[in-house]
Amino acid sequence: EPEVTQTPSHQVTQMGQEVILRCVPISNHLYFYWYRQILGQKVEFLVSFYNNEISEKSEIFDDQFSVERPDGSNFTLKIRSTKLEDSAMYFCASRAGTQYFGPGTRLTVL
């Protein structure tokens, strides 16, 4: 069964460093998403991407964040200068109808 994959599973970085989180959505899906979940809290929407552009973004998704679909398979989330409060689980999702989530990347900012 096709699935969304994410790499790395765990990323540790120093405050102020740039990180790139990678996702490979399900191949025939057209809509892509990033969500984050701070430990013990609910899952929050960050950004959606459709037709090679951002469809919607939340107030969390400020200028430090960017997304890209550099080729036909990958979908990336970049955080330019990480802060302590960016520590969270980051989920990629894709959909044709129902959204399917990847296993997540645990980002730890020290």
Q: How many residues does the chain have?
A: 110
Which stretch, 14-22, 26-34, 67-75, 79-87, contacts other proteins (CB under 8 A)?
26-34
Stretch that binds other proteins, among 18-26, 45-53, 60-68, 74-82 (CB under 8 A): 45-53
Nearer to other proteins, 19 or 46 (CB): 46
Measure Cα distances from 76 to 41, 42, 99 in Å. 23, 22, 17
- Determine the Cα–Cα distance for residues 6 and 21; give it in Å rounded to an integer: 8
Among 5, 13, 37, 64, binds other proteins (CB under 8 A): 37
Residue 52 · residue 68 · CB < 8 Å: no
Does 22 bind other proteins (CB under 8 A)? Our answer is no
The answer to whether residue 60 forms part of the interface with other proteins (CB under 8 A) is: no
